[in-house]
């Protein structure tokens, strides 16, 4: 799978550019046909070491090694806010 780094602002601009805006006051509904694509979602986990360094893991592991201080850490999950 190819990984790319994209800023959220660029995604929103791209989504807005794909839709046509119907002028206000027009009667009826604009219907368009197009090919349906597919998207892949990938879950990721943000890790934070006691030293303050944070990084991303694609799998939820029981133990992780901090890339900054090389400390072995036991992973504790916290509820999403």
- Rounded CA gap, 61 and 81, in Å? 21
- What are the pLDDT digits (tens) for 30-74? 888 899 999 999 999 999 999 999 999 999 999 999 999 999 999
Cα distances from 9 to residues 14, 21, 36, 47, in angstroms, run 9, 20, 23, 24
Residue 6: pLDDT above 70? no
Q: Is the pTM of this model over 0.75?
A: no
What is residue 31's predicted lDDT score, i.e. its pLDDT? Answer: 83
Higher pLDDT, 31 or 2: 31
């Amino acid at each position: 799978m190819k990984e790319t780094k994209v800023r959220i602002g660029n995604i929103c601009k791209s989504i807005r550019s794909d839709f046509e805006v119907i002028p206000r006051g027009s009667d009826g509904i604009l219907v368009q046909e197009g090919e349906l694509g597919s998207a892949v979602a990938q879950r990721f986990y943000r890790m934070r070491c006691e030293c303050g360094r944070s990084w991303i893991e694609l799998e939820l592991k029981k133990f992780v090694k901090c890339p900054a201080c090389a400390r072995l850490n036991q992973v504790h999950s916290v509820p999403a806010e």
